[in-house]
Amino acid sequence: MLRSVLPQPLSLVLEDVEIPTPAPGEVVIRVRAVTLCGSDVRVWKGEKTGGVAWPATIGHEVAGEVAAIGDGVDSHRVGDRVALAPWFTCGECVHCRSGVTNLCDAMEVFAYGIAGALAEYAVIPALGVANGQLVTTTGTVPWEIAALAEPLACVYHGHSRSRISEGSSVLIIGGGPIGLLHLELAVLAGATTVIVSEPSAQRREFALQHGATATVDPTSESLADVVASATGGRGVDTTIVCIGHGALVAEAIELTSKGGLINLFAGFGGDGLASVPLNTIHYRQQDVIGNSGATLDDYLYAVELIESGRIDLDDYITDRFPLAELRAALERATSGDAIKVAVIC
């Protein structure tokens, strides 16, 4: 079988290795599609190293079919179509016991400390199988669309904490794949004003096609003027920051209304520090929240949204590459105007 390996950042090797045999409790899947995440690109470029075991096989947004099962596995059969919630939790820490499994103290993440899915076959560890995180799907959508359940689950987790409902006004800073999925959920929730700030013209047009009421090119237009015009000067109810630049946080706070909420959805690079207007938060009585990962329930809901057609993600896949062209796929994912890049394995 073909397997990708990153011996070190910016280095990529395609190896021909034996198809793995599952140990007790494990499942081996025939990978059919992996969609590339921004974190995959950052690992490849050496910008994200925490938790990565080198040499690394990345790829955690995955769909495929069961190829072999280890002793003791009775939850799956060979041939089942599956997708993976890639966060393997301990079930014992205080966060797991309280149901906030995305904050598990002993979480293992597929494709970081564990070999990922950018290969023709991948091993799903026994812990993930036992926890129910290898989810059987119906096969009603293409493989690469099923793989999008992972980013949609993470976005849904953040959305569910962002107080967006019928009639809400929402500002999304960053119209990449994550920001666009936030747009989908805001529209589904009944938000009547959804503004997307994004420098890419292609992504701005995509946002308008998917329900944005306005888009802004922050390199040449005043986002503050657009927000003021759309909200009568009040500011938006919710701002979601989907770009990890600290300088954007102060702007997000200033553009959010009294009693509003700012969701710092993106992870922040560098030292992670930002200068923010504390008195604006104080006197406007705003809530500023963070967001990390998703739970299995979030993932199951994301699968249901996709398979039911309540959210149509068919045109999110702008580029498809075979596994043998993984380097080109990673380079395309850094282009700034692709939506999602899929690797067909």
Q: What is the pLDDT of residue 24?
A: 98
pLDDT of 95:
97
Instruction: Give the pLDDT score at 49.
Output: 79
- The DSSP line for 214-266 is EEE-TTTS-HHHHHHHHHTTS-EEEEEE-S--THHHHHHHHTEEEEEEEEE-S
Over residues 120-157, the pLDDT tens digits come to 999 999 999 999 999 999 999 999 999 999 999 999 99
Q: What is the mean pLDDT of residues 332-338?
A: 91
**Mean pLDDT score across all residues of the chain:** 96
Residue 48 has pLDDT above 90, yes or no: no
First to last CA, the chain: 10
For residue 51, is pLDDT > 90?
Answer: no
Bridge-partner residues for 170, per DSSP?
A: 194, 238
Span 46-57, mean pLDDT? Answer: 87
- Which class for 263: exposed (0-12), middle (13-18), buried (19 or more C-beta within 10 A)? buried
Measured in whole angstroms, how far is the alpha carbon of residue 331 from the centre of its chain? 19
Torsions phi, psi of 90, nearest 5? Answer: -80, -30
Instruction: Provide the pLDDT for residue 185.
Output: 98
- DSSP string covering 104-143: -TT-EEBTTTB--SSBSEEEEPHHHHHTT-EEE--S-S-H
Residue 42 carries which side chain, given as an amino acid letter? R
Threshold 0.75, pTM exceeds: yes
What pLDDT band is residue 21 in, cutting at 50, 70 and 90? very high
The rounded percent of the chain whose pLDDT value lies above 70 is 100
- Residue 320, H or E segment: strand 317-322
Question: Residue 55: is its pLDDT beyond 90?
Answer: yes
pLDDT at residue 335 in the model: 87
| Mean pLDDT confidence for 35-53 | 90
Quick one: pLDDT at residue 109? 93
Tell me the pLDDT tens digit for each residue of 262-292. 999 999 877 889 999 999 999 999 999 999 9
pLDDT in tens, 289-327: 999 999 999 999 999 999 999 999 999 999 999 999 999
Q: Given this model, what pLDDT does residue 113 score?
A: 85
C-alpha angle 57-60-65 in degrees, rounded to nearest 5: 100
- Dihedrals phi, psi of 77, to nearest 5 degrees: -125, 155
**Cis peptide before 277, with omega less than 30 degrees from 0?**
no
Any alpha helices (H) in the chain, and if so which ranges? 38-45, 94-97, 126-130, 143-146, 149-159, 177-189, 201-209, 223-231, 247-254, 278-284, 296-308, 326-333
The per-residue pLDDT for range 185-223, each reduced to its tens digit, is: 999 999 999 999 999 999 999 999 999 999 999 999 999
Residue 193 Cα distances to 169, 183, 189, 225, angstroms: 4, 10, 11, 15
* Encoded tokens for 76: 């799956």
Distance CA 257, CA 273 (A): 23
6-10, 26-30, 70-74, 126-130: segment of lowest average pLDDT: 6-10
Distances (CA, A) of 18 to 1, 2, 119, 272: 6, 9, 11, 42
What pLDDT shows up at residue 91? 94
| The token pair that represents 287 in the structure block | 């809530």
Task: Find tokens 């906030």 and name the residue.
Answer: 100
Q: What is the identity of the amino acid at 76? A: H
- Mean pLDDT confidence for 171-191: 98
For the chain, domains (ranges, CATH) are: 2-151+294-344 (3.90.180.10), 162-290 (3.40.50.720)
With 90 as the cut, is the pLDDT of residue 337 above it?
no
